Amino acid sequence: MRCPYCGNDDTQVKDSRPTEDSSAIRRRRICNGCGGRFTTFERVQLRELMVVKKSGRKVPFDRDKLARSVSTALRKRAVDPEKVERMISGVVRQLESLGEPEVTSEQIGAIVMEGLKNLDDVAFVRFASVYRNFSAADDFRSFLSELGSDDAPDKPE
């Protein structure tokens, strides 16, 4: 594992343990070159998933790209990073449990939207605006009115 401080490839594992949700292995490392300490998280990938884009092109599933998209939607929002990580791990587990070697970008978007809806309303709307390709303010209005009608029974009058 390369040191993030000096780029040295000679690092040593000092501690290794599973994360709280057992979705990854947390490793504390030390660089033998500069002495820097850092943490890595290693995940077991059950199967290689391919994403079928709207254009029909197929690309390997990239968990980091998913995390970046979620992070963009959550920018400047006060959401616990551990909850975000659990949501992302849940999305990946749902995709893997579909049992298919290929998933569509629409399936991924729908699962992410469901996760964000339970995590943060603003991030949910931000993600939906990109996922559903909003092009005008009316798109937001109609989406928010749909959202409001879905939540109406739960809200006191």
Tell me which residue of 7, 6, 13 sits closest to 30, measured CA to CA.
Answer: 13
Domain count, the chain: 2
pLDDT digit string, tens, across residues 80-105: 888 998 899 899 889 988 888 899 99
Residues 36, 88: one domain? no
pLDDT digit string, tens, across residues 103-120: 999 999 999 999 998 898
pTM, two decimals, is: 0.62
pLDDT averages per 10-residue partition of the chain, 157 residues: 90 90 85 94 75 93 92 90 90 87 92 91 84 74 70 42
In whole angstroms, what is the distance from residue 72 CA to residue 78 CA?
13
Kindly tell me the burial class for residue 71, based on how many C-beta atoms sit within 10 Å of its own C-beta (0-12, 13-18, 19 or more): middle
Residues 80, 140: one domain? yes
Residues 56, 35: one domain? no
Confirm whether 4 is domain-assigned.
no
Residues 57, 97: one domain? yes
3-state secondary structure of 72: helix
Which residue type, as a one-letter code, is found at position 49? L
Domain carrying residue 20 = 11-42
Confirm whether 2 is domain-assigned.
no
- Residue pair 77/123 in contact (Cβ under 8 Å)? The answer is yes
Residues 25, 91: one domain? no
